[in-house]
Amino acid sequence: MASRSSTSTPSSGDGRGDDPVGGTLVGVALGLVVVAAVVGALRRRRRPRAFALPSSVVAQVREAQADRLEQEARSGLLVLGDAIRTHDLDPGDDSQAWQAALDHYDAAARVLDTGGSDLGVLDAVGAVVLVRRGRAALDAATAGKPYRPVAGCYLNPLHGPPTRKRTRLVQDGHTGDVPLCPACRADLKAGRAPDALRVDRGGKAVLYVDSGVEPWASTAYGALGGDLVGALHRLR
């Protein structure tokens, strides 16, 4: 009687069997890494970039320029006054905008009159801003539209209108979103010193918002919102 031969189960060549649990754990770990990378990328995309304001800015509006700015403000005030006097309030005009034009005219005249022959550069800039806003209010009134002040460039109110998107600015340890004109925003993005409005205080050039001269410092000449004319009456 022939003997029955025994059969053996073949084994893998390296002596180890497949490990389905280990493979699953590796797959889960890789998946978590991918998810974490995606979430991190989304967070970086959503977080606005903050720009540090250089401590020293070469381009400055100095006290020596106060005379030129004062002349610009006085000339603009004369033109605005003539435009107000020669225009009669029509039924189609916006009365609120008309009153805003008068208020800004009076405020600019007050700044120029109280400054006298020793008008500082920050007051001269303030008068220019008030005259420009008064002109904008008068244009809105004659067009039959309400007047809404447009915030100026935070770093220099003499610049053009700001971009639609605000810029996150780091200054002296404080961070805030402020309106900047395209030129200042481009300078900061390129690592260049922007043409900021700085004045001399004790032999040191400081940004006007740190000058303590009101109402310009706390309102940023209206760039931070609020009623600039009202602030002038409250703080002067």
Beta strands in 29-71 (DSSP E): 50-52
What is the pLDDT, as a whole number, of residue 11? Answer: 47
Q: Which residues of the chain have pLDDT under 50?
A: 1-16, 25-26, 28-29, 32-33, 55-61
What is the pLDDT, as a whole number, of residue 5? Answer: 44
What is the pLDDT, as a whole number, of residue 89? Answer: 81
Residue 140, judged by CB atoms within 10 A of its CB (0-12, 13-18, 19+), counts as buried
What is the pLDDT, as a whole number, of residue 199? Answer: 87
Indicate the angle between helix axes 121-142 and 95-115, nearest 10 degrees.
Answer: 160
Q: What residue has token string 């754990």?
A: 25
